[in-house]
Structure 1
Amino acid sequence: MQFVSVRVISGDVARLADFYEQATGLEGRRPAEQFAEFAGPSGKLAIGGVQTMPLLDAGAERTTILEFLVEDVDREYERLMRLAVVPEIVQEPTTMPWGNRSLLFRDPDGNLVNFFTPPTGDARQASIRTTALL
Structure 2
Amino acid sequence: MHLVSIRIITEDVKKMSSFYEYITGIAPVLYTEDFAELKTPSAILAIGSTKTLELFGGDEVAKAAQNRTAIIEFRVNDVDDEYNRLAGFVQDLIVQKPTTMPWGNRSFLFRDTDGNLINFFAPLTREAIQKFNEGSTEELA
Q: TM-score, normalised by structure 2?
A: 0.84
2:65/2:116 contact within 8 Å kept: no
Correspondence 1:90 to 2:86: no
Residue 120 of structure 1, CA deviation: 4.0
CA 1:79–1:121 in 2, change beyond 3 Å: closer, same or farther? farther
Letter in 1 for 2:33: E
Aligned partner of 2:27 in structure 1 is 27
Residue 17 of structure 1, CA deviation: 0.3
Q: Quick one: which of 83, 98, 108 aligns to 1:77?
A: 83
Residue 27 of structure 1, CA deviation: 1.0
Whose radius of gyration is greater, 1 or 2? Answer: 2
Q: Secondary structure at the match of 1:75?
A: helix
Q: Secondary structure at the match of 1:62?
A: coil
Q: How does 1:38-117 map to 2 (within 5 A)?
A: 38-53=38-53, 54-55=59-60, 56-83=62-89, 86=91, 88-117=93-122
Aligned partner of 2:37 in structure 1 is 37
| Identity of matched residues, % | 50
CA 1:39–1:59 in 2, change beyond 3 Å: closer, same or farther? closer
CA 1:89–1:122 in 2, change beyond 3 Å: closer, same or farther? same
Letter in 2 for 1:32: T
CA distance in 1, matches of 2:92, 2:29: 22
CA 1:38–1:117 in 2, change beyond 3 Å: closer, same or farther? same
Q: Secondary structure at the match of 1:16?
A: helix
CA distance in 1, matches of 2:83, 2:23: 10
Aligned partner of 2:56 in structure 1 is none
Q: Mind listing any 5+ residue stretches in structure 2 that lack a counterpart? A: 54-58
Q: TM-score, normalised by structure 1?
A: 0.88
Q: Mind listing any 5+ residue stretches in structure 1 that lack a counterpart? A: none
